Structure 1
Amino acid sequence: MDQTLPAPAPSTRWTRFHGVRRAFRNLVLRGALLELVTFGFYRFWLATDIRRHLWSHTLVDGDPLEYVGRARELLIGFLIATAILMPAYLVYFLVGIEAERVQAFASLPLSLFLYLFAQFAIYRARRYRVTRTVWRGLRFTMTGSGIGYAWRAALWDLAVLLSLGAALPWRQAALERYRMRHTAYGDLQGGFDGTGRELFRRGWHLWLLTVPALLTIIPLPFLIAAWRATMLQWWVSNVRFGEVRFHSYLERKALFGIYWKATGWWVLLGTLMGLWVSGIFGLAAALAQPAPDGTPDYAAAFAHPLALAGLGLGYLLMALAAGVVVRIYLTRDIWARIVETTAVYGLEAADHATGQGEAVDAIGEGFAGGLDLNIGGL
């Protein structure tokens, strides 16, 4: 760790992460290979394995978290979500056959529908993960309405758009308050005390640097890492369950190295993908048959099934490799960094917590899969 943490007070407890990075790397590499041979269906089992690894190696006052979700639940949720989403895609397809002009008009309501469903999926997916999390034999619970969250998110996103991003801190605070007031550990009610004003005060200069960073590109990983660290430190430090409170000592510079390593891998993967595509096109051009005018028929060569198969395979390998990078660096490493810098206060209030609530279905996770959402890398 590169943070120097203050000496804990007698009533302070710490969270710890004792997972072995090599074991996690092997887990995601094996999972990527299985995703390849199963055409992506292994991702439900991989997501479950990742959560079990992270949860079980996270200790709160010496006691590990436990993830009790099952891959079969995620698969069933995905199939149900697909059955719900398919009619919308089918209507859009049929409209497109009728007229391109009508199809262009229909794309707006379809996009709005998918956006709202994405917000619904984000909330329900978090609700699923929360209710599959156990600590000291007691399960966390989460209620609330995915639909209610979706329209709140939509209104806040409109405000963010109209304010050119300035309203983002208030959006984050409002939505997190909604999520946490419907979350509990046993009978300890969750809450969130963070404010948009506090987050804006911490990150307003990062917001001002967004346009220069986009123009120069190179400092962008620094900006993203600094904003992510600011957000996470603010979030952890304002979460509570009854009298149990948390505080994060995560420094803003703590994620710089992680994001630069991930960026380096993405540049390498992009370069390899470019070489792969160039090789495919070069081979297709070499095999191109002459057109009637005697010039090579490149269009026919590039449309050859072997060329298309090569491009498809390259894209699939690129996507799987990028997923490995995200899971190792932006999921596992950031998770470990947060856990290692978090203190817990008033944990004795959890000693007498009693269970309540019920586990929920995985339909929200299914929507997330159907819409290709990557929720926190998990």
Structure 2
Amino acid sequence: MNDLQWAPIGPPSPVSPPPLPPAQIDFTGDRGEFRRMVTRGAALELVTFGFYRFWLVTDIRRHLWSNTSVDGDAAEYTGRGKELLIGFLFALAILVPIYLGYFLVGIEAERWQGFASTPLFIAFYAFGQFAIFRARRYRLTRTVWRGVRFWMDGSGWAYSLRAMLWGLLVFLTLGLALPWREASLERYKMRHSHYGDLSGDFEATGWEFFKRGWWLWLLTPLAIVVPLLAPFFYAEFKAREWRWWLAGIRIGGVSLSSKLPHDAFYGLYWKVVGWSLLLFTLLGSWIAGCTALVMRLTDKSIEQLFGPKAGTSIPLLVLMAVGYLATALAFNVVMRVYLQRDLWVKVLETTHVHDIEAAANVKASGELASALGEGFADGLDVAGF
């Protein structure tokens, strides 16, 4: 007689739902609106002697953040231009005495001035790395998504020490250690970054970055010999760096992936080069025209204006200063349109968010950070956007 086998009676085994498709990141901002905003901001920078830039940077971030939607929800930037101005003034109160002290030491001991520049450079590099970390903390704490704020802890000086040691290694290896430096520093920043009660991490490695771009390191001397190749090499490097960086980001169970092509930034960098050549040509024409005008009005020859015994021509100096300032501000408009807005869009349109449901039930946490680090970053010219 055959043995009968009976299946146990009970509820069926639960079937896990299939994974959700990656969430899309959309950008809805209008390019013309952004261009008009930064052009108007540059004009206001001109009449306010540069102080409007704090409000312009805030407007740029608010435009980029508010027009970036993840899984249908847009981000929000809550920073204010007044905060950046106050942070900058506090930073100046610290940096100006350092500059002044170095100047006075140079006067008293001129022969030691060259040696004294080394510790000054080290000090400013340390301040710069501290500023990069603290500026990132400020930007994160002013970024809100779905009503929950990002935030950051950790020590800016600990980060600065790591950056200095890695920088020394990069110098000693002629840049070969750069991928491991970037991975280590990004890992420190991400492990101290949070979204509500979710903690961040960075899983990409220096070896992965090295494999993506080692041949660019070998071709760097060629770019020095043939400068026309430099924009291609740098655009190639930045595209590979962005794709590597995005793939390594983790916030709780949320991860990112990117399909950014290696040639995504070629057009952007060459447009910047083209606009730069045009602006410098216009500047040269402006200086030549101003010189001709002053010569005609003052009956002075070119030797009298620019020769070894030339006196100071106040009108010509003012006109040249206006030309230089206008060119610098126009160049900033070009940089902001192509290398901030357009680059931002190219990166976002090839990026997907995986396991976004892991951020569905996040509890708010963290505290707002001061804008002092952003002020340091602006004073040392290492600020990001």
TM-score of the alignment, normalized to the shorter chain, above 0.5: yes
Structure 2 Cα separation of the partners of residues 132 and 297 of structure 1: 52
* Structure 1: runs of 5 or more not aligned: 1-8
Corresponding position of 2:207:
197
CA–CA separation in structure 2 for the residues paired with 1:175 and 1:142: 14
Question: Alpha-carbon deviation of 1:290?
Answer: 8.0
Aligned match of 2:24 = 14
Number of the residue aligned with 1:150: 160
Residues 35, 42 of structure 1: 8 Å contact kept: yes
> Is residue 182 of structure 1 aligned with residue 192 of structure 2?
yes
1:44-193 alignment, distance < 5 Å:
44-193=54-203
Question: 2:372 matched to 1:363?
Answer: yes
SS of alignment partner, residue 311 of structure 1: helix
1:225 match: 235
After TM superposition, list the pairs within 5 Å mapping 1:280-295 onto structure 2.
280-282=290-292, 287=298
Residue 327 (structure 1) aligned with residue 336 (structure 2): yes
**Does the Cα contact within 8 Å between 1:285 and 1:301 map onto a contact in 2?**
no
SS at match of 2:242: helix
Q: Residues of 2 paired with 1:280 and 1:210: CA distance? A: 40
Unaligned stretches of 5+ residues in structure 2: 1-18
Greater displacement, 313-322 / 76-85:
313-322
How far has the Cα of 1:310 moved from its partner? Answer: 2.0
Report the alpha carbon displacement of residue 94 of structure 1 after superposing the two structures with TM.
1.4
Secondary structure, counterpart of 1:140 in structure 2: strand
Deviation at 1:277, TM superposition (A): 3.1
Letter of the 2:336 counterpart: R
Letter in 2 for 1:139: R
**Cα deviation 1:201-251 (Å, max 9, x = unaligned):** 000111111111221111211111111100001101110111101101111
Which residue in 2 is equivalent to 1:6? none
Paired residues in the alignment total 365
Provide the residue aligned with 1:346 in structure 2. Answer: 355
Amino acid at match of 2:282: L
Displacement of 1:308: 1.8
C-alpha distance after superposition, 1:304-331 (max 9, x if no partner):
2122212221211111011101100000
Aligned to 2:75, the other structure's residue is in SS state strand
Pair 1:131–1:302, CA change in 2 (3 A): farther
2:306 is matched with 298
Please tell me whether the aligned partners of residues 304 and 311 of structure 2 are also in contact (alpha carbons under 8 angstroms): no
Query: Equivalent of 2:252, from 232, 242, 246?
Result: 242
Structure 2 distance, partners of 1:217, 1:35, is: 32
| Counterpart for residue 5 of structure 1 | none
SS at match of 1:218: helix
- Letter of the aligned partner of 2:158 in structure 1? G
Q: Counterparts of 1:322 and 1:342 in 2: how far apart (Å)? A: 29
Q: State the alpha-carbon separation in 2 of the partners of residues 332 and 207 from structure 1.
A: 28
Percent identity, please: 54
Shift of 1:278: 3.4
Question: Contact 1:213/1:220 (CA < 8 Å) preserved in 2?
Answer: yes
TM-score by length of 1: 0.92
Q: For residues 267-305 of structure 1, what are the alpha-carbon distances to aligned partners after superposition, in whole Å with 9 as ceiling and x for unaligned?
A: 1112222223334455566647589xxx74634546321
CA RMSD of aligned residues (A): 1.8
Range with bigger deviation, 80-89 or 268-277:
268-277
Moved more, 260-269 or 278-287: 278-287
Gap change, CA 1:298 and 1:219, over 3 Å in 2: closer
Partner SS state of residue 237, structure 1? helix
C-alpha displacement of 1:136: 0.1
How far apart, CA to CA, are the structure 1 residues paired with 2:278 and 2:111? 41
Distance 2:265 2:281 in 1: 24
1:374 deviates by 3.9
After superposition, the Cα gap between the structure-2 partners of 1:297 and 1:280, relative to the gap in structure 1 and judged at 3 Å, is closer
Q: d(CA) in 2 for partners of 1:319 and 1:165?
A: 30
- In structure 1, give the amino acid aligned to 2:235: A
| DSSP 3-state at the match of 1:251 | coil
Partner of 1:373: 382
Give the letter for the 2:125 counterpart: Y
Contact residue 69 and residue 132 of structure 1 kept, 8 A: yes
